[in-house]
Amino acid sequence: QYDDWLVNLMTHEYTHILHTDNISGIPALINAIIGKQWSPNQVQPRFILEGLAVYEETLHTRGGRLRSSMWDMYLRGDALAGSLLTLDQLCNGPNRWPHGNLWYLYGSCLMQFVADRHGADRLAALSREYGSMTVPWQLNRAARRTIGHGWEDLYDAWRADTATRYRRQRAAITAEGLVEGAALTAQGEYVRNPRFLPDGTLLYESADGRSQQQLRSLPPSALAAGAPRAEPRSLAWTGNASGFAVVDADTLVVSDVAPYRHVHFYHDLHRWSLRRGDDGAVSLAERARISQGWRAQQPDVSPDGDHVAYTVNHRGTTALFEMSLTDRAPRAVFRPRRYEQVYAPRYAPDGRTVAFSWWRRGGRRDIALWHRDTGEVELVTDDVALDLSPAWSPDGRYLLWSSDRTGVSNVYAREVATGRTWQVTNVLGGAFQPVVSPDGNTLVYVGYSARGFDLHR
pLDDT confidence of residue 136: 83
Of 54, 52, 53, 25, nearest in space to 40 by CA: 25
Average pLDDT over residues 316-322: 97
138-155 residue pLDDT tens: 999 999 999 999 999 999
Alpha-carbon distances of 198 from 109, 308, 433, rounded to whole Å: 45, 18, 19
356 Cβ neighbours under 8 A, 6+ residues apart: 320, 342, 343, 344, 345, 346, 367, 368, 369, 370, 390
How buried is residue 171: exposed, middle or buried, by Cβ count under 10 Å (0-12/13-18/19+)?
Answer: exposed
Long-range contacts of 72-75 (CB under 8 A, 24+ apart): 72/407, 73/408, 73/409, 73/429, 73/430, 73/448, 74/98, 74/101, 74/105, 75/105, 75/106, 75/109, 75/162, 75/166
pLDDT confidence of residue 278: 85
456, 181 contact by CB (below 8 A): yes
Identity of residue 26:
I
Average pLDDT over residues 195-220: 95
Q: How far apart (Å, rounded) are the C-alpha atoms in residues 380 and 415? A: 11
437, 196 contact by CB (below 8 A): yes
pLDDT confidence of residue 60: 96
Average pLDDT over residues 439-446: 96
Confidence label for 226 from pLDDT (cuts 50, 70 and 90): confident
The C-alpha angle with vertex 365 and arms to 364 and 367, in degrees rounded to 5, equals: 130
Average pLDDT over residues 434-449: 97
pLDDT-above-70 percentage for the chain: 100
Q: How far apart (Å, rounded) are the C-alpha atoms in residues 73 and 430? A: 7
Quick check: 448 pLDDT over 90?
A: yes
Average pLDDT over residues 428-438: 98
pLDDT confidence of residue 412: 98
Output phi, psi for 286, to 5 deg.
-160, 145
Confidence label for 404 from pLDDT (cuts 50, 70 and 90): very high
pTM of the model: 0.95
Alpha-carbon distances of 221 from 201, 217, 281, rounded to whole Å: 8, 12, 12
Q: How far apart (Å, rounded) are the C-alpha atoms in residues 295 and 342? A: 14
256, 241 contact by CB (below 8 A): yes
Q: How far apart (Å, rounded) are the C-alpha atoms in residues 345 and 328? A: 18
Concatenated DSSP letters of 4-27: -HHHHHHHHHHHHHHHHT---HHH
pLDDT confidence of residue 281: 87
Q: How far apart (Å, rounded) are the C-alpha atoms in residues 336 and 318? A: 8
Q: Is the peptide bond before 27 cis (omega within 30 degrees of 0)?
A: no
What Rg value do the Cα atoms of the chain yield, rounded? 25
Of 236, 249, 343, nearest in space to 300 by CA: 343
More confident residue, 227 or 392: 392
Sheet harboring 353-360: ordered strands across? 341-347, 353-360, 364-371, 377-379
Output phi, psi for 151, to 5 deg.
-65, -35
**Roughly what angle, to the nearest 10 degrees, separates helices 139-146 and 121-130?**
140
Q: How far apart (Å, rounded) are the C-alpha atoms in residues 360 and 383? A: 11
pLDDT confidence of residue 410: 98
70, 63 contact by CB (below 8 A): no
266-287 residue pLDDT tens: 999 999 999 998 888 899 999 9
pLDDT confidence of residue 280: 81
Average pLDDT over residues 286-296: 95
Report how far Cα 267 is from the mean position of its chain's Cα atoms: 19
What are the helix (H) ranges across 21-45? 25-34
